[in-house]
Structures are given as structure tokens and as C-alpha cells.
């Protein structure tokens, strides 16, 4: 079926679009039944099965004038793949629910699917099913399924005397968001970091193998997510500001906006870096030690209360 370039979802209908979308998603050997039946069927090997679900709502989590459909596809896949990564696992299967207005161009949906598939290919994950419905704005629901070779690393295992480390870049997406919010498109490297995050895929399983005791994906903000880890573990965490190398693009954005570049790092999310705690001397390659775990509760920066932006508020 050939889709006219100006076709909308209302023009091709649900099943016409499904046929176009499923053709974009290749299936791994673990997929016994993929898209097209009432449910997918997957071959489960030994280990632990881990599952995560996330929502993206247009105007709340993305704007179509700030990011292309392919960018949104990459973002939607990345944040779900990162959740599996944060458990010390690797995603192998995903499903997508897409709600959209009838006048949305079909090409937008196809480009979104291509971006999603490209991101999934980075970890060899398959899109095994999903659903479509009408909606006032674009709403995306993604469920990721993965496996852990060892026991999953939870948020609740940190202990006093351990160290906190980070893997992946931090503050870049926040810098890009600040730029876009001011109506600019540079530094381009930060705008691209916002549009297409680069989670440190593989760092989660490596941390688990090295003995990580607690781990979390930084999606809401570094201070906020360190706070979640501290709360679930019943400990306090102190971040060392000197441990963060502030890249030049963040200095440029801070200078242009009159802000502190360190706040972009401490309060920024959506780079999908990982935070994890380790026994001293056990931090693996690719991770940077940025703080310590102690008795008490909450998060401090340089042993003092932090009063800057801690992260994203969903409500």
C-alpha cells in the first residue's frame, strides 16, 4: 500500500497505519509471536524478567516544534531502555501505545517509528506489539521488557560508608531545554542532547557485575533521583560539586542565561545517566565517583543543604 505524502491518520485508518508501522520493526530470535496477534509471545531464558512503563504527553514531555518525529521516537525508546539498564539488565522487547489526533500526518507516525526502531537497535531490542487510538494530542505509552543475568539492582541497597558514582553525561539535556525555552537553537550539541539523549547502555549490567548495591536512572534530575535512592535505602547522600567536570557548552548557556552551570548538572534530567552506589574501591571503569553515602537522610551538596532546582515535577 502506497501512502500519499500528505496523508493523515484519518485517511489511512488504524489498520492501514499498523501495517505500515509493523513493517519497520524487525524481530529478534526470542520473539515467537510478534505484532499482529492479541499479544506477543516471547521466549524466556534463565534469569530475572524486568518490566518498565513510561508515558510521554505532547506539550508536557515534548513539543513537535522543538523535536522531529524521529527525535521523539529516540527519546521515547531511550527513557524506557534506560530504566531496564538501571536495574542492571538489558531490554529485549518493547510495546508502544500511540494516541494521536486524526489530522496528524502519517509521515510523522512513520518517522517516529523509525527513530524508535533505531534507538532499540542500539541494544538489539524488538518492538513486539502495541496499540493505536485517537486522542486530542499525541500520547505515547511504552512498555519495555528485559532480563538480568544476576539479581536486579534496586534503589534500596545503599549503605553508609559506600560511594556514589555516575555513568553517562549529565546536564546536557537540561542545557538544551534551557536553550530551546529561550527560542534559540545553539549550542547545537546541547539541543541535540535534549532531542536525542545518549544513555550509557551497558553501564547498568557492568555496574551490577561489579557489585553495585543500589542504582537509579537519572530522568527527573540528579539531586531529585539521588534523593529517591537515599530515601529507599534509608541513608543520606552527599554530592561533591568538585567531582563534576562542567563542559564548555554548559558554561556558554549559563553565561547567556545568567545561571549557574552546576545547577544544570544538579537539577537536570533526561540525559538518562545512571547513579549507583558501590563499596569503596569497587567503582568500575566508565563510572565517576561523585559522592558518599552516610547515616541520616536526604541529599546535601558539599555537606550543605542544596536550595537550587532539584529536578522535574510531574504535577
Residue numbers in the known binding site are 38, 52-54, 61, 83, 130-131, 155, 217, 219-220, 270, 312
DSSP code per residue over 256-275: HHT--HHHHHHH--SS-EEE
Q: Are strands 90-100 and 126-134 parallel, antiparallel or unpaired?
A: parallel
| Euclidean distance between CA atoms 23 and 35, whole angstroms | 10
Are 3 and 113 contacting, i.e. CB atoms less than 8 angstroms apart? no
| Euclidean distance between CA atoms 131 and 244, whole angstroms | 42
Which are the contacts of 155, defined by CB distance < 8 A and separation ≥ 6? Answer: 214, 215, 216, 228, 229, 232, 233
Residue tagged 545547577 (cell numbers): 263
**Binding site for Mg(2+): residue ranges?**
38, 52-54, 83, 131, 217, 220
| Euclidean distance between CA atoms 278 and 208, whole angstroms | 10
| Euclidean distance between CA atoms 100 and 169, whole angstroms | 32
**Binding site for substrate: residue ranges?**
61, 270, 312
Are 272 and 78 contacting, i.e. CB atoms less than 8 angstroms apart? yes
**Binding site for ATP: residue ranges?**
130-131, 155, 219
Beta bridge pairs of residue 96: 130, 142
Amino acid at each position: 500500500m502506497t501512502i500519499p505524502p500528505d496523508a493523515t491518520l484519518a485517511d489511512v485508518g488504524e489498520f492501514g497505519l499498523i501495517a505500515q508501522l509493523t513493517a519497520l520493526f524487525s524481530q529478534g530470535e526470542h520473539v515467537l509471536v510478534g505484532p499482529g496477534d492479541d499479544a506477543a509471545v516471547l521466549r524466556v531464558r534463565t534469569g530475572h524478567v524486568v518490566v518498565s512503563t513510561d508515558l510521554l504527553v505532547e506539550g508536557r514531555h515534548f513539543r513537535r516544534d522543538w523535536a522531529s518525529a524521529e527525535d521523539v521516537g529516540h527519546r521515547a525508546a531511550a527513557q524506557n531502555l534506560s530504566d531496564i539498564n538501571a536495574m542492571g539488565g538489558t531490554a529485549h522487547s518493547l510495546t508502544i501505545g500511540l494516541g494521536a489526533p486524526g489530522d496528524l500526518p502519517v509521515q510523522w507516525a512513520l518517522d517516529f517509528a523509525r527513530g524508535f526502531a533505531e534507538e532499540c537497535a542500539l541494544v538489539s531490542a524488538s518492538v513486539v506489539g502495541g496499540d493505536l487510538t485517537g486522542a486530542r494530542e499525541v500520547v505515547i505509552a511504552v512498555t519495555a521488557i528485559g532480563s538480568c543475568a544476576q539479581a536486579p539492582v534496586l534503589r534500596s541497597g545503599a549503605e553508609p560508608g559506600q560511594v556514589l558514582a555516575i555513568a553517562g553525561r549529565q546536564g546536557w539535556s537540561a542545557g538544551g531545554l534551557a536553550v530551546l525555552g529561550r527560542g534559540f537553537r545553539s549550542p547545537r550539541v546541547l539541543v541535540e542532547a535534549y532531542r536525542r539523549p545518549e544513555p550509557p547502555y551497558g553501564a547498568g549490567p557492568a555496574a551490577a557485575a561489579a557489585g553495585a548495591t543500589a542504582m537509579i536512572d537519572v530522568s527527573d534530575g540528579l539531586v531529585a533521583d539521588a534523593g529517591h535512592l537515599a530515601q529507599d535505602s534509608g541513608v543520606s547522600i552527599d554530592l561533591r560539586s568538585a567531582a563534576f567536570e562542567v563542559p564548555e557548552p554548559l558554561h556558554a548557556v549559563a553565561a547567556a542565561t545568567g545561571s549557574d552551570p552546576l545547577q544544570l548538572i544538579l537539577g537536570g534530567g533526561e540525559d538518562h545517566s545512571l547513579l549507583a552506589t558501590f563499596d569503596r574501591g569497587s567503582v568500575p571503569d566508565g563510572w565517576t565517583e561523585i559522592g558518599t553515602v552516610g547515616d541520616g537522610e536526604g541529599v546535601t551538596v558539599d555537606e550543605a543543604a542544596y536550595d537550587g532546582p532539584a529536578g522535574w515535577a510531574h504535577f
